Amino acid sequence: MTVPVVKVGHHQLSGTLDTWSCPMADRPPAHDPGGLVLRRRTPRPPLVFEVLRRETVGDGIIRVVIGGPGFDRFQDNGFTDRYVKLQFAPEGIIYDDPTDVETIAGRPPAERPRMRTYTIRWIDDAAKELAIDFVLHGDAGIAARWARHAAPGEQVVAGGPGGAYRPDPAADWHLFVADDAALPAVAAALDDLPDDAAVVGVVALDVPGRAAYLGERFADRFQVIDRVTGPSLTAAVEGLELPGGEGHAFVHTELGEVRSLRTLLRGRFSPERLSLSGYWREGKDEDGFQAEKRAEAEAATAPAR
């Protein structure tokens, strides 16, 4: 049984993490193409939210709406892919004060919270609520598992928000390439576009019916692939006929796929028009996935010998 979500800023948990931030973290250059940049973040105090309700909003997509005291201190960054870092205490561990980052950082590694990254689907300032949509992917994940049973009144401590992308209104057209985990970020971006926006999209989904989550406005512009039996996203994008003029691309999916999409697309889009990000890693939990990205970032910035 997973204990309630608690979050402290991951940069405050250890010396190593203090110097690293993930792609599109708190203050990245816009549209950081590789997500492999080392940068120091200013620690922010964590935000303490409360679960208000849980809803099913798609096939295997659970919305958890949170509010409470954290909402008043939450600072929207204006990006449509804004995200928070939720943190889960390991089983059997209870923190006297989940916001006391110093004390928690002093605990043995196995007792420190686990961090999970989630997009903010929408913010309702009037109601003082924000929504996070968890796309389920089996029972292995602590976050996905928690979302199934999140109950009103539970405490949620979150760091952030981070983010780096918003559709550029000056772009002639917009490309979206995503999998299940990035559906909330794509939906938030589509909300930002006018009805007459030129949209080209490809989504590879574990459950193809989840494409309905994106709504009807741009539904006919999206090619939907079965992620298990269909072609790869890279193959699908390679086969696209992209419009002329200048496009703006949002390409967020599994890390290995992002790497091949980056190779394919970086000649086609300038770096500031190409938002690329790995959202998870096949075969690794988020801890392993972030460690892999951190190692890559360190290798990329190590002085040449």
Position with the least CB separation from ligand FAD? 141
- With CB under 6 A as the contact rule, which of the stretches 1-9, 128-136, 168-176, 209-217 interacts with ligand FAD? 128-136
The window from 13-21, 36-44, 68-76, 114-122 that contacts ligand FAD (CB under 6 A) reads 114-122
Q: State how far the Cα of 34 lies from the Cα of 274, in Å rounded to an integer.
A: 10
Output the six-digit token pair for 4. Answer: 């309630």
Stretch of 95-103, 230-238, 268-276, 279-287 contacting ligand FAD, by CB under 6 A? 279-287
Which range of residues in 71-79, 142-150, 212-220, 235-243 is near ligand FAD by CB under 6 A? 142-150
283 near ligand FAD (CB under 6 A): yes
**Of the two residues 215 and 243, which places its CB atom closer to ligand FAD in the complex?**
215
Nearer to ligand FAD, 166 or 281 (CB): 281
| Residue from 39, 44, 54, 137 in contact with ligand FAD (CB under 6 A) | 137
Report in angstroms how near the CB of residue 133 gets to ligand FAD at its nearest: 5
CB-based contact 218:199 (threshold 8 Å) = yes
Among 142, 190, 199, 276, binds ligand FAD (CB under 6 A): 142
- The alpha carbon torsion through 252, 253, 257, 262 (nearest 10 deg) reads 0
Of 34, 76, 117, the C-alpha closest to 301 is 34
Q: Of 142 and 276, which has the nearer Cβ to ligand FAD?
A: 142
- CA pair distance 75, 45, nearest whole angstrom: 12
CB of 83 to ligand FAD, least distance (A): 4
**Shortest Å, Cβ 18 to ligand FAD:** 19
Interaction between residue 176 and ligand FAD (CB under 6 A): no
Q: Which of 72, 97, 241, 282 binds ligand FAD (CB under 6 A)?
A: 282
Q: Which is nearer to ligand FAD, 83 or 269 (CB)?
A: 83
Q: Does 181 bind ligand FAD (CB under 6 A)?
A: yes
Give the interface size with ligand FAD as a residue count (CB under 6 A). Answer: 26
Residue 58 CB, shortest distance to ligand FAD, in Å, is 11
Q: Interacting stretch for ligand FAD, rule CB under 6 A, among 213-221, 231-239, 242-250, 276-284? A: 276-284
CA distance 83 to 96: 26
| Intra-chain end-to-end CA distance of the chain, in Å | 48
Using CB under 6 A as the binding rule, whether residue 135 contacts ligand FAD is answered as: yes
Query: 95, 165, 218, 280: which one contacts ligand FAD (CB under 6 A)?
Result: 280
**Residues at the interface with ligand FAD (CB under 6 A):** 24, 83, 116-119, 133-135, 137, 140-144, 180-181, 184, 279-286
